[in-house]
């Protein structure tokens, strides 16, 4: 069993829709990270959070430490949001565990 599980694996949405990607983890963590991987392969860090909620533009990330669960929301989705979204957790001792990613396609 993976330490980090994401759902759904694949997601197709119409432009303008509200999108939610979920992440569950099974280990104690120091922080949770949301990453974006573009079709060209580059990986960009979107959020790092250890409690509560963060917002950046149309992206919102939340975490519930007690439930070991995080969500990434995209409001007013746009085709340029099409990418793979990866959840990762960091632990003490330089350990990072990554989910397998959620592939999002936003159709115009």
Partner 1 sequence: NAGVTQTPKFRILKIGQSMTLQCTQDMNHNYMYWYRQDPGMGLKLIYYSVGAGITDKGEVPNGYNVSRSTTEDFPLRLELAAPSQTSVYFCASSYSRAGNEQYFGPGTRLTVT
Alpha carbon distance 14, 12 (integer Å): 7
Contact 2, 95 (CB under 8 A): no
Q: What is the DSSP letter of 100?
A: -
Q: In terms of CB distance, is 32 or 77 closer to partner 1?
A: 32
90 binding partner 1? (CB under 8 A): yes
Q: Which of 39, 42, 57, 108 binds partner 1 (CB under 8 A)?
A: 42
> Which of the stretches 14-22, 26-34, 51-59, 71-79 binds partner 1 when contact is defined by CB under 8 A?
26-34
CB of 82 to partner 1, least distance (A): 19
Q: What tokens appear for 51 in the block?
A: 């409690």
């Amino acid at each position: 069993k993976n330490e980090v599980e994401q759902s759904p694996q694949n997601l197709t949405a119409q432009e303008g829709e509200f999108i939610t990607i979920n992440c569950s983890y099974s280990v104690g963590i120091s922080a949770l990270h949301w990453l974006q991987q573009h079709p060209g392969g580059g990986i960009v860090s979107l959020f790092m959070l250890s409690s509560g909620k963060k917002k950046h533009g149309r992206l919102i990330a939340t975490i519930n430490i007690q439930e070991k669960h995080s969500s990434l929301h995209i409001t007013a989705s746009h085709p340029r949001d099409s990418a793979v979204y990866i959840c990762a957790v960091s632990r003490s001792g330089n350990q990072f565990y990554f989910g397998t990613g959620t592939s999002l396609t936003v159709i115009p």
